[in-house]
Amino acid sequence: GQSLEQPSEVTAVEGAIVQINCTYQTSGFYGLSWYQQHDGGAPTFLSYNGLDGLEETGRFSSFLSRSDSYGYLLLQELQMKDSASYFCAVRDTGSARQLTFGSGTQLTVLP
């Protein structure tokens, strides 16, 4: 099976940088994804890492180390609108290849 661990809450101030870590245990690995979910909203795709290293998309970057079974999401120049829950996810090894999600990290950005 798959399991993921990420912090339940993170708080930071506007303009700061925050890193949300994710460690995982899987019987097979098909990449690490990150999703953002605002209160009452749908999860939306942020990034995907299939190989080791850093992927950058604007203010957001995501990192993966397969040897450490570890990844993180880095948010720079934080804005109030970044307050949301962030989920890391890995693909299941079954035929459905469905995503297994972590429990989510609630990010609160303070003024």
Name which of 96 and 111 has its Cβ closer to other proteins. Answer: 96
Provide φ and ψ at 93, rounded to 5°. -85, -5
The answer to whether residue 48 forms part of the interface with other proteins (CB under 8 A) is yes
Q: Is 37 helix (H, G, I), strand (E, B) or coil?
A: strand
The answer to whether residue 33 forms part of the interface with other proteins (CB under 8 A) is yes
30 in Cβ contact with 2 (< 8 Å): no
Among 1, 58, 94, 111, indicate the residue that binds other proteins (CB under 8 A): 94
48 in Cβ contact with 57 (< 8 Å): no
Residues that bind other proteins (CB under 8 A): 30, 33, 35, 41-45, 48, 87, 91-92, 94-104
